[in-house]
Structure 1
Amino acid sequence: MRLFKADDRPLAARMLAERHLAMNLKAQYAMDVARDALWSNYAAAEDRALFAEQLIGIVSHDLRNPLAAIKMASQLLGCRDLPPKQAQILGHITHAAERAQRLVADLLDFTLRQVGRGIAVSLKPVDLHTLVGECLDELSLVFPEHTLTHRCVGQGDFIADSDRLYQLIGNLVANAIAYGTAVGGVTVSSCFEDQVTIAVHNLGTPIPTELLDNLFEPMIRGSQDNAGLRSVGLGLFIVREIVRAHHGDVRVSSSIEEGTTFTATFPLPR
């Protein structure tokens, strides 16, 4: 080990200072690089948000309005006495327009969620059993080849967004029909117990265990069955976001013996 003499101290101090300066410069450079990367990511995020805003405008106007016009025209034509074949074709047009409207609504909600707005809800008193029954009546027209059964349990007060509940039930029923079997149909339960629940059950191929944890993430599908009925994979994601907006929870159970059940749980009003 070399010992510094008294007259070496200024040199040692200068070397130490230079070493600290080099370390500080290196740290400053790293901070500058990190700051530039942060600003770059921020600018990219702003660009994505702007694109999302533009997409919202396109979806809300350029797609929803024409679909509404198609549905209205088909409903007006349906008021006439048409031959059975034409009435059947008209029914297909109406159902296709309704399905496209649901898809547009899911895309719009997904975009709003991605830019941080979340799904908005307008909470009002709701007659849950009546709402579920009316929703299933409409869905029976959309899916005439499937049996939809409503099971009611209990009575009570419920505060919710009725339009969002329609959307939630529609997505879960469409999912049950797309991935379930026609045998046994689809059963929708609305229950008042220690909490409020809406459950949708179907028989069919169970959801693979490895998919259950991420099933409510966007673009995730339960299986490859019934490809013709599949959507873009946003339905269950929208269901989860609607339930969260109501301060609730949603879960799924699936087995060969019991079938598949999606259960949305909501707190009772205080």
Structure 2
Amino acid sequence: MPTESLFDSAACALAVTQEDGTILRVNLRLCDWLGFSAAELHGRRFQDLLTMGGRIFYQTHLAPMLRMHGSVTEVKLDIRHCAGHKVTVLLNANQRQEPDGVVYDLALFGTTDRDKYERELLNARKLAEALLQEKTATELALKQAQAELSAAYAIAQRRALFAEQMVAIVSHDLKNPLTAIRMASDFLQRGERTAKERQLLRHIGQSSERAHRMIADLLDFTQARVGQGITIKAVPLDLHGVIEHAVDELRVAFPTATLVHQAEGHGQACLDADRVQQIIGNLVANSVAYGDLLQPITITSRLGDNACAISVHNHGPAIPEALLPGLFEPMTRGTDQGSEVRSVGLGLYIVRELAKVHGGDVAVSSCATAGTTFTVMF
């Protein structure tokens, strides 16, 4: 392709000027951009096509740089269209020596797409900065919320600890007057009393026994939550004999219930006798509170080769399935029935803790037809 054709069909606007800026030659693209014909541009000075600011820049910077360095790259200029509006271009210029003197080859590139790209980059940067600022503000708010939550949690922990310590202190201090009431009741029952007096003394004994169980549960609860945990003294014992003795005492404590003990297997178990009796007492009290007292409550002690277990079964309504997952949590109750014999909602929690400290666990099964069975495995 001839050089003339390449010059006119170039993808950018081209011009050749003398050293003073006089235009010697232009291509068709520059004519199209400015709305002038080649003849109208020929002989005009390139700087006269610029805006006022462009002319000043040309005289003070562009022309001196071309003379000193022989080239300039990507200089942004505004050229006047024949209709008066501005056309923004990027100018690349190169100095060239001709036989007649120095000429400048000018290449001008449109900036519309570049400006759009730069605006998009700027908008993206602003958006990123806004998101970063939002993220920073969110992180600060989260840290502040976490600090406030930690402070509130610490306060709640201190209050809970104080409350549990107070419960432990009060429960411990209640044991002495309660023991005095029980001893006085037992002493008065030995003498001659009227039927009404015996009934009142029996009520006093039952109420003090119930209060004693409540206090025992509260002390164990605070020991498990605040202290070093519930302690035991495990020794070899006759499990069947311990359970039979516990059931005999519980028949006195719950005269309206029919308690039946079943023994399975032979041998000894290494357990804490007092704690085992406490387990049986809590499970029987739970059965009396929620079971059908017209049918017997069965306490079973089982001895095997490497393990032993005790279970308490009662007939009556099934435990609602929704309550089963949290049944052994403190302060949990199944229903409102049995208010005369139930404790403070710690009985099953204490049973689980005593099972764990013996290295075992507790399970429950309950349905309307078979009744409810609590089984403690050691």
- TM-score, normalised via structure 2 length: 0.61
Return 5+ residue gaps in structure 2 as ranges. Answer: 1-115, 120-127
CA offset digits 1:26-78 (Å, max 9, x no partner): 646643552343234223312321232122111111x2111111011111222
Structure 1 match to 2:316: 204
CA 1:259 to 1:17, structure 2 compared with 1: closer, same or farther past 3 Å?
closer
Task: Tell whether 2:188 aligns with 1:77.
Answer: yes
Percent identity over paired residues: 40
- CA distance in 2 between counterparts of 1:189 and 1:208 reads 24
- CA distance in 2 between counterparts of 1:74 and 1:83 reads 14
- CA distance in 2 between counterparts of 1:225 and 1:47 reads 32
Q: Structure 2: which amino acid aligns with 1:42?
A: A
- CA distance in 2 between counterparts of 1:51 and 1:233 reads 17
Task: Tell whether 2:195 aligns with 1:66.
Answer: no
- CA distance in 1 between counterparts of 2:327 and 2:293 reads 22
Structure 1 match to 2:238: 127
SS in 2 for 1:213: helix
SS in 2 for 1:260: strand
SS in 2 for 1:150: strand
CA offset digits 1:95-130 (Å, max 9, x no partner): 210111101111222233333643222222222111
SS in 1 for 2:326: coil
Please list, as runs of the form range in 1=range in 2, the aligned pairs for 1:103-182 lying within 5 A after superposition.
103-115=214-226, 117-182=228-293
Between Structure 1 and Structure 2, which shows a larger proportion of strand residues? 2
> By how many angstroms is 1:205 displaced?
1.7
Structure 2 match to 1:51: 163
Q: Structure 1: which amino acid aligns with 2:314?
A: N
Question: Which of residues 250, 254, 257 is equivalent to 2:362?
Answer: 250
- CA distance in 1 between counterparts of 2:240 and 2:347 reads 22
- CA distance in 2 between counterparts of 1:99 and 1:40 reads 37
SS in 2 for 1:106: helix
Between Structure 1 and Structure 2, which shows a larger proportion of helix residues? 1
SS in 2 for 1:229: coil
Structure 1 match to 2:151: 39
CA 1:220 to 1:43, structure 2 compared with 1: closer, same or farther past 3 Å?
closer
SS in 1 for 2:155: helix
Structure 1 match to 2:348: 236
- CA distance in 2 between counterparts of 1:93 and 1:154 reads 39
Task: Tell whether 2:202 aligns with 1:91.
Answer: yes
Higher Rg: 2
- CA distance in 2 between counterparts of 1:157 and 1:93 reads 37
SS in 1 for 2:363: strand
Q: Structure 2: which amino acid aligns with 1:175?
A: N
Question: Which of residues 261, 264, 267 is equivalent to 2:376?
Answer: 264
* Residues matched between the structures, number: 260
- CA distance in 1 between counterparts of 2:302 and 2:363 reads 15
The answer to whether the Cα contact below 8 Å between 2:262 and 2:300 also exists between their aligned partners in 1 is yes
Q: Structure 2: which amino acid aligns with 1:248?
A: G
- CA distance in 1 between counterparts of 2:329 and 2:131 reads 51
The answer to whether the Cα contact below 8 Å between 2:210 and 2:343 also exists between their aligned partners in 1 is no
Greater relative CO (CA pairs within 8 A, separation 6+): 1
- TM-score, normalised via structure 1 length: 0.83
